[in-house]
Amino acid sequence: MNRPYRWDLVRPDQLGTLLERAGKPALWFLDELIECAAKVIARAGDAELYFVGRSADSVYDLLSGTPWRERIHRLPLSFAGTGDGLADSDVDSLRAHLASAGLSPYDLARGRPKVFVDLVYTGGTFTELYGLLREWIEDEREAWSIIRGRLRFLGITIREDTSPSAFRWQQTFDWPTELPANAVRNISLEWPVWNYLGNTQPKLTSSFPRPRWSDENGSAPEHSGKRLKGLAEAVEIVQAGRSKATRDLLVRHLRREPAMAESWLRTLVTRLR
């Protein structure tokens, strides 16, 4: 499967004059993004993080400028338009795509736990991804009893009332009950930030639904005005992640998390400082 082209934002030497054409972005959402990134790290646990699709790209970009960049990965993938089911060729392509990202059943049973991160509204993407992995694990006859304890889903949701009657997407599906408690968790964002990241933010890459999985043109860089705006904003976010002010704020939020009792997070905080 082709992967959408994405510039190297940590070493952006090849960008040339592209940033000049895009203008300087205003990161009005940065403080809340930093808090969200801290919660993603702490609540995912001592694991490898896979950012599904593009909605949470800004969280990925912020962490790319920190010592946590060794643990984060992008999984450009959209299940839009697959409501009629997947052909065998589509399943083969998806499995090859996941295997190349280190997410084969063999990989899931070994190494650090794997955590999928995405902005979530109804939970459809996580549901499709879980079903694909579950069937693949059965086909490969890997030990589900081991993998189920190493597979996690972390949804970034819209902040709402926390009453017992509040909507929780994972309660509308059966599959989360097949995993241990706390394997499916949520982090909330205020609506303006969630809506911007999920719906209106100029993205660095196009969406990657089924029609583009086999499109060789999908792996070429785009230079449209919208993509260049996304590029400029992403570069600015990566640079923010490398700044002392951002790292200090990350540390402040991390110290509030219960996971600070664990040695892996204390080690990260030391590196950030």
CA angle 173, 161, 255 (to 5 degrees): 95
**CA–CA distance, 238 with 242 (Å, rounded to integer):** 7
For 211-230, what is each residue's pLDDT tens digit? Answer: 666 666 666 677 678 888 99
**CA–CA distance, 198 with 193 (Å, rounded to integer):** 8
CA angle 175, 181, 183 (to 5 degrees): 65
Q: What is the pLDDT of residue 8?
A: 78
Average pLDDT for 154-180: 89
pTM value is 0.92
Q: Are 203 and 76 in contact (CB under 8 A)?
A: no
Q: Give residue limits of the domains in the chain.
A: 26-272
What residue type is 8 in one-letter code? D
CA angle 271, 272, 273 (to 5 degrees): 90
Domain 26-272 bears CATH identifier 3.40.50: yes
State yes or no: pLDDT of 81 exceeds 70.
no
For 2-57, what is each residue's pLDDT tens digit? Answer: 777 787 787 766 676 777 777 788 899 999 999 999 999 999 999 999 999 999 99
Q: What is the pLDDT of residue 157?
A: 96
Token pair of 6, please?
A: 């994405």
Strands 114-119 and 72-75, sheet pairing? unpaired
Q: What is the pLDDT of residue 1?
A: 61
For 105-122, what is each residue's pLDDT tens digit? Answer: 999 999 999 999 999 999
State yes or no: pLDDT of 166 exceeds 80.
no
State yes or no: pLDDT of 189 exceeds 90.
yes
Residue 75 exposure: Cα atoms within 13 Å on the Cβ side = 26
**CA–CA distance, 207 with 18 (Å, rounded to integer):** 21
Q: Which residues contact 257 (CB under 8 A, 6 or more apart)?
A: 38, 39, 42, 43, 265
**CA–CA distance, 57 with 241 (Å, rounded to integer):** 13
For 106-162, what is each residue's pLDDT tens digit? Answer: 999 999 999 999 999 999 999 999 999 999 999 999 999 999 999 999 999 999 877
